[in-house]
Structure formats: structure tokens, C-alpha cells
């Protein structure tokens, strides 16, 4: 009698523990290894963030999901890795929304010049209702946006002259990321836009294929573009977010529990990168100032005025989202 009771108790304990283990999702024994690509060098805020992301994913999933990070565009340019993501041939990639717009056209809204009023507005939009609505569109392109990533404000740099007023841009060959809105913006300023992959910009500047480009101070510094440019002019015409995208094929291989852990690690990574950004931005401006003449443009009214008609003309294309973004506090 006593023996039977013991068997019952032991069986019950076994059932309960199996259930608990299952609920925690730790029954998945197979280790999933994912490749993450970035076109950044190892030391940018985003790149440091992805190393942190890999560690956190491993910790949170107790080693069930391992992320291998590939830097310096070794797996391809942002455009190419997004194609691989869409085809399910790569798991995760960093990209700019300007690149993503070739797959999800609404993402080009973030290239609209002077769309955001400041950093606070930028984050309130991305982390609010409008940001999640726009993020959801990328699932139509077989990918999922894991997290929005800080990428600062973009300004012009070139080898010809400092830009102090919009007219100074006339006739300059400027490299852009190749989104339609970026191209239209350069044309509106009277510059001549050229699309070049990020990794090719240094040599394009060096050989004179382009006169200049535009980017945030950290990218100029880490890619050493200051070595091949003379002026950095802080007109801050665009705040284009970066994104971390996962292929839906890879996403769907994860259990619900693993998906939750990936999202948790992504949120933590967003904070990590934003903090790192705040640390590095001033440092990069100091670094590049030894090679390049920096001019600030405290009053941007003239620049904003030149692109206002473009902004107005894009309103219909973005289905009211420009106004929705502007309305966010």
C-alpha cells in the first residue's frame, strides 16, 4: 500500500516537473546558430551593440540560440544582406531604413529631410504607435524588424568647400544610400547624387569619383572618411534610423519562448547602442577635427525652406504618415 503511494507521488512529481520545464521552454535541446551581418566596423555603437546582443541572446536562451556577428560587410552590402534575409539565406542583418525602402517602400519616409525635430521626437515616433505600424509593413517582405537602432543625424562632408548655405551644394557629386527620397533631396539641393555601397565610399572619395557624401560623425570617423575629405558641415538634414531585421524563415524556426527572449535582448541592445552613441558622438567629432574643418550651422532655416516643397509633395506617397509623425509630441 505504502509502496503504491510512493509510486503515485513520484509519478505526480515527474509530471509536474516535465510541465514546468516545458512551460519555461527549456525542452528545446537543439542549438540554433544564427548569422548576423553589419556593414559597420567592430567599434561603432551599433557593432558593439550586436556583440552585446549575441551575449544576451545566449544568456537568456541558456545557449539554445547562438548569434555569430560578421562585421565590415563581409557577408555583403546592406542591400545585398537584405536580399539574403528576404530569401531566407541569412538570419539577421543591420541596415538603414534607406536601404530597407527597396523592400518596404514606406521605410523611405525616414529619409524625408528635417522630418524629426530632435532626438526625443525621433524616439517618441519610433517607439510609439506610428513606429510599430511602419515596422509591421516589413513582414510583407518576409522579414521582421527586431528593433530600431540609433544612427544620429546626417550632415554633408566634401572635398570642395564648406557648406554654409544650401546654394553651396550646387553641382557637387554627393554619395547617397540610394533611396528615392535621398536622391530627390540631393537633386532639390542642386547636388548630383550617386549611389555607392558604404564600404566603397572611402575609395570613391579618394579617387574623386564623388566630391562628398553625408553621414553622422561616428560613421565618418570609424570609416576614416575624414582622411579623404576636407569639410564637415553640420546641417543635420536627416535622422535616418538603422534597424535590425530578422528573416521570417529564421524567426519562425524559434519557439515562442525563444522569440520572446530575442525581443528582450533586442530591447536591451537598443538602450545599449543609444548610450554608446551618446558617448562616442562628441569623441568622433573631436577625432575628425584633426583632419577636417567642421562648421556648425546653428540656423538651419534656409536648408529647411529649400526642401519644404519636396516634403509637401511626398505627403500623398506616404499616405498621411508624414503628418502623423509631425503630430507626435
List alpha helices for the chain, DSSP H.
2-24, 45-60, 78-87, 97-100, 119-126, 129-136, 180-188, 201-206, 217-222, 248-253, 256-288, 301-314, 321-327
In the complex, what is the shortest distance from the CB of residue 78 to ligand GCU, in angstroms, rounded to a whole number? 5
Cβ atoms of 77 and 71 closer than 8 Å: no
78 touching ligand GCU, by CB under 6 A: yes
Q: Output 46 or 54, the one with its CB closest to ligand GCU.
A: 46
Q: Output 189 or 259, the one with its CB closest to ligand GCU.
A: 189
Q: Output 32 or 209, the one with its CB closest to ligand GCU.
A: 209
In the complex, what is the shortest distance from the CB of residue 30 to ligand GCU, in angstroms, rounded to a whole number? 32
Judged by CB under 6 A, which of 198, 231, 251, 321 binds ligand GCU?
Answer: 198
Pairing of strands 92-96, 242-247: antiparallel
Q: What own/partner pairs with CB < 8 Å and gap ≥ 24 does 313-319 have?
A: 314/112, 314/181, 314/184, 318/106, 318/109, 318/112, 319/106
Cβ atoms of 153 and 239 closer than 8 Å: yes
Judged by CB under 6 A, which of 67, 102, 151, 254 binds ligand GCU?
Answer: 151
181 touching ligand GCU, by CB under 6 A: no
In the complex, what is the shortest distance from the CB of residue 244 to ligand GCU, in angstroms, rounded to a whole number? 11
Residue 32, CB-side half-sphere exposure with 13 Å CA sphere: 19
Residue 104's closest CA among 125, 77, 82, 122? 82
In the complex, what is the shortest distance from the CB of residue 71 to ligand GCU, in angstroms, rounded to a whole number? 12
37 touching ligand GCU, by CB under 6 A: no
The 276-315 site mask, x for binding ligand GCU (CB under 6 A), equals ----------------------------------------
Q: Output 32 or 51, the one with its CB closest to ligand GCU.
A: 51
Integer Cα distance of 152 and 278 in angstroms: 9
270 touching ligand GCU, by CB under 6 A: no
Q: Output 151 or 254, the one with its CB closest to ligand GCU.
A: 151
The 94-133 site mask, x for binding ligand GCU (CB under 6 A), equals -xx-------------------------------------
Integer Cα distance of 201 and 204 in angstroms: 5
Cβ atoms of 313 and 188 closer than 8 Å: no
Integer Cα distance of 39 and 82 in angstroms: 12
| CA angle in degrees (0–180, nearest 5) for 51-53-59 | 110
232 touching ligand GCU, by CB under 6 A: no
Judged by CB under 6 A, which of 91, 236, 242, 281 binds ligand GCU?
Answer: 242
Judged by CB under 6 A, which of 101, 104, 188, 219 binds ligand GCU?
Answer: 219
In the complex, what is the shortest distance from the CB of residue 31 to ligand GCU, in angstroms, rounded to a whole number? 29
Contacts to ligand GCU by CB under 6 A: 39, 78, 95-96, 151, 177, 198, 215, 219, 242
Amino acid at each position: 500500500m505504502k509502496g503504491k503511494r510512493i509510486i503515485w507521488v513520484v509519478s505526480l512529481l515527474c509530471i509536474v516537473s516535465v510541465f514546468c520545464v516545458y512551460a519555461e521552454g527549456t525542452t528545446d535541446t537543439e542549438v540554433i546558430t544564427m548569422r548576423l551581418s553589419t556593414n559597420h566596423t567592430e567599434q561603432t555603437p551599433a557593432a558593439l551593440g550586436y556583440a552585446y546582443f549575441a551575449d544576451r541572446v545566449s544568456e537568456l536562451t541558456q545557449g539554445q540560440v547562438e548569434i555569430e556577428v560578421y562585421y565590415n560587410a563581409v557577408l555583403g552590402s546592406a542591400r545585398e544582406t537584405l536580399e539574403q534575409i528576404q530569401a531566407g539565406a541569412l538570419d539577421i542583418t543591420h541596415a538603414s531604413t534607406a536601404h530597407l525602402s527597396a523592400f518596404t517602400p514606406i521605410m523611405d519616409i525616414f529619409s524625408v529631410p528635417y522630418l524629426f525635430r530632435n532626438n526625443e521626437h525621433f524616439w517618441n515616433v519610433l517607439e510609439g504607435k506610428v513606429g510599430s505600424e511602419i515596422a509591421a509593413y516589413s513582414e510583407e517582405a518576409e522579414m521582421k524588424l527586431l528593433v530600431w537602432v540609433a544612427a544620429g543625424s546626417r550632415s554633408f562632408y566634401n572635398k570642395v568647400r564648406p557648406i554654409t548655405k544650401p546654394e553651396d551644394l550646387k553641382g557637387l557629386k554627393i554619395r547617397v544610400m540610394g533611396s528615392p527620397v535621398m536622391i530627390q533631396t540631393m537633386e532639390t539641393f542642386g547636388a548630383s547624387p550617386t549611389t555607392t555601397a558604404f564600404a566603397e565610399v572611402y575609395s570613391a572619395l579618394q579617387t574623386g569619383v564623388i566630391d562628398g557624401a553625408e553621414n553622422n560623425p561616428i560613421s565618418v570617423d570609424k570609416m576614416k572618411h575624414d582622411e579623404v575629405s576636407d569639410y564637415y558641415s553640420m546641417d543635420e538634414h536627416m535622422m535616418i534610423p538603422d534597424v535590425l531585421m530578422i528573416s521570417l524563415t529564421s524567426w519562425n524556426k524559434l519557439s515562442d519562448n525563444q522569440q520572446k527572449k530575442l525581443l528582450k535582448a533586442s530591447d536591451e541592445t537598443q538602450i545599449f547602442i543609444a548610450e554608446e552613441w551618446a558617448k562616442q558622438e562628441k569623441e568622433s567629432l573631436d577625432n575628425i577635427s584633426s583632419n577636417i574643418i567642421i562648421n556648425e550651422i546653428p540656423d538651419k532655416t534656409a536648408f529647411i525652406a529649400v526642401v519644404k516643397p519636396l516634403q509637401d509633395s511626398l505627403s500623398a506617397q506616404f499616405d498621411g504618415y508624414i503628418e502623423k509623425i509631425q503630430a507626435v509630441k
